[in-house]
Amino acid sequence: MLLIGAGGLGSPASLYLAAAGVGTLGIVDADVVDDSNLQRQIVHSTKRLGEPKVQSAKETLEALNPDVEVKAYEERLTSENVERILGDGWDVIVDGADNFPTRYLVNDASVWHGMRVVHGSIYRFEGRVTVCKPGDGPCYRCLFATPPPPELAPSCAEGGVLGVLPGIIGSLQASEALKLLLGIGDTLQGRLLLFDALATTVDEVLVKRDPSCPVCGESPTITEYVDYVEFCAGPRVTS
């Protein structure tokens, strides 16, 4: 399985996937361990401040389960490297990206490569999860055709994230990813799950494949990678 991000979502997801014995885990992240987000990035520790997150995660995960091989990609996923990284062959992608450019890149690449993706995101007290299976249900662009304007992008918002929220959402992503791998149960394909941590409610929205989707629709208008610009005026909230 390929994890995009070793942050708040990637931490719990990678711990449970490694503990479950998923043989090879790829992790893509360009950041270093920072003490300002250890309240949610629990695959890291104060001992590894300043180390690349992918190396830190690799140490934790391989110590947890020595049978797991962790392939570290110390880079940010871009239109330049996405083909190489996906080309290493993965059964499922666990998308814990903290920004829209990466999320849309993952979606478009997964549609063109026919790879299944478990998307997860958090914003303040709300988390979302959905599963995309190209050719057999909606893709992320069927839900949201294009990213919000940069100034409205949640990843640019100020303020704190309740540390346990990505723990819950990342664990749900691991659960969905394992189900996809094992071919059991009903996944969140065609459903967008919304978790509100303040109200403690779970809602879901049914989503259908959009025939006019710019990527997976009948007449796609997007046929090559789009490099969306990310612009943050304030401190960025990472996953």
Q: Which residue, 139 or 165, is less far from Zn ion as judged by CB?
A: 139
- Rounded least distance, CB 138 to Zn ion, Å: 6
Residue nearest to Zn ion (CB): 213
Supply 189's token pair: 């394909």
Q: How far apart are CA 77 and CA 96, in angstroms?
A: 12
Kindly tell me the sign of the dihedral angle through the C-alpha atoms of 3, 60, 193, 156. negative
Q: Which is nearer to Zn ion, 33 or 213 (CB)?
A: 213
Q: Which stretch, 74-82, 120-128, 166-174, 215-223, contacts Zn ion (CB under 5 A)?
A: 215-223
Nearer to Zn ion, 66 or 135 (CB): 135
* Binding residues with Zn ion: total (CB under 5 A): 5
Task: Please report how close the Cβ of residue 156 comes to Zn ion at its closest, in angstroms.
Answer: 25
Binding track over 174-213 against Zn ion, x by CB under 5 A: ---------------------------------------x
CB of 4 to Zn ion, least distance (A): 18
CB atoms within 10 A of CB 188: 23
Give dist(CA 35, CA 92) in Å, integer. 30
The encoded tokens of residue 149 equal 């304007």
- CA–CA separation, 147 vs 100, rounded Å? 6
Closest CA to 126 of 14, 203, 190: 203
**Over the range 22-48, which residues count as b (16 or more CB within 10 Å of their CB) and which as e?**
beebbbbbebbbeeebbebbbbbeeeb
Token representation of residue 29: 């992240």
Q: Per CB under 5 A, does 216 bind Zn ion?
A: yes
Q: Does residue number 94 form part of the binding site for Zn ion (CB under 5 A)?
A: no
Least Å distance, CB 110 to Zn ion, is: 10
- Please identify, among the stretches 69-77, 81-89, 160-168, 216-224, the one whose residues bind Zn ion according to the rule CB under 5 A: 216-224
Can you say how many angstroms the Cα of residue 157 is from the centroid of all Cα atoms in its chain?
Answer: 18
Query: Closest approach of Cβ 164 to Zn ion, in Å?
Result: 32
Q: Quote the least distance from Cβ 188 to Zn ion, whole Å.
A: 16
Say if CB 235 and CB 158 are below 8 A apart.
yes
Q: How far is the CB of 215 from Zn ion (least distance, A)?
A: 5
Build a one-symbol-per-residue string for 135-164: x at contacts with Zn ion by CB under 5 A, - elsewhere. Answer: ----x-xx----------------------
Euclidean distance between CA atoms 39 and 74, whole angstroms = 22
Binding site for Zn ion (CB under 5 A): 139, 141-142, 213, 216
